[in-house]
Amino acid sequence: MGILDLEKMTSPEVRRAIDDGHDTIVIPFGSLEQHGGHLPIGTDAMLGDEFGRRIADRLNAFLVPTVRVGCAEHHLAFAGTMSVGKDTLRQVAVDCARGLARHGFRRIVFVPTHGGNFEPLAEAVEQCRSIEGASVVTVASDFARDVLRDGTVGVSMKFGITPEESGAHAGEWETSIMLYLTPELVRMDAAAPGYTGDMAEGVQRVLRDGVSLDELAANGVMGDPRKAQAKRGQHYIEALTNVALHVLEHP
């Protein structure tokens, strides 16, 4: 049956679909935050739209519109970034799950497309264990291991892109994805390298210690986007979708 687009359906249509056994629903959680001088602030929210749709399609599930503001405190040094606290995002996720479970959804899937959302969504899943009759899960596991190794850096190395270029934020892989999805929003003339040290270590430093990205790179970039190509973007999207589905199948 493919995707059931929740926001475009009437309440009776949703009721009938649930009663017919379509009781899985996907909720993407993105972010509005700086992505260097070459990518739009809504990059992670747009990735939520894309990955949410792909995952919902593979699961024959309902799709909820992307929650567009996430936990991006570590980007607030840059103009235009918006952020909510971890407790806020966790409670939003829990409240959404409780309401959906009340309507008969039996599998509720949180899909984060921003590293700062991984921890609060994992905590939300734990809090949702008290919800009767519904399984609440997330594709969030280990960002450095699953996303960087299997979905991005591991793929980019096959194309001769180094891990330092591939990056973790607004680097080659993320820029390639955006060139594939929304080329009109990418300013490649402004693309410039940022932090190009060990990416797993850099990610952990930012997410664990709350270090502002401007302390790692003045332009807020982790990686070097200058070699980005749209044709590689499709490969990254497919690899990341497979990573997410693997996490769901092997919790």
Distances (CA, A) of 230 to 150, 167, 180: 19, 16, 4
pLDDT at 48: 97
Owner of token pair 């700062």: 116
Distances (CA, A) of 39 to 172, 201, 214, 220: 11, 23, 16, 11
pLDDT at 25: 98
C-alpha to C-alpha distance for 10 and 22, rounded to whole angstroms: 15
Angle at 248 between CA 162 and CA 135, to 5 degrees: 150
User: H-type helices in the chain, by residue range?
Assistant: 11-19, 43-59, 86-102, 118-127, 153-156, 163-166, 172-181, 199-209, 230-249
191 Ramachandran zone, left/alpha/beta (phi>0; psi -120 to 50): beta
pLDDT at 176: 98
Q: What number of other Cβ atoms are within 10 A of residue 231's Cβ?
A: 10
pLDDT at 15: 98
Local confidence pLDDT in tens for the 251 residues of the chain: 689 999 999 999 999 999 999 999 999 999 999 999 999 999 999 999 999 999 999 999 999 999 999 999 999 989 999 999 999 999 999 999 999 999 999 999 999 999 899 999 999 999 999 999 999 999 877 665 777 788 898 899 999 999 999 999 999 999 999 999 999 999 999 999 999 998 888 888 887 777 777 788 999 999 999 999 999 999 999 999 999 998 888 76
pLDDT at 85: 97
Domains defined for the chain, CATH in brackets: 4-141 (3.40.50.10310), 144-239 (no CATH)
pLDDT at 204: 81
Distances (CA, A) of 124 to 23, 60, 65, 146, 164: 20, 24, 19, 20, 32
C-alpha to C-alpha distance for 140 and 156, rounded to whole angstroms: 21
CB 148 within 8 A of CB 207: no
- Residue 217's closest CA among 234, 207, 202, 200? 202
Model-level pTM? Answer: 0.95
* Structure-block tokens of residue 181: 């999805």
- Residue 214's closest CA among 200, 190, 240, 194? 194
pLDDT at 21: 96
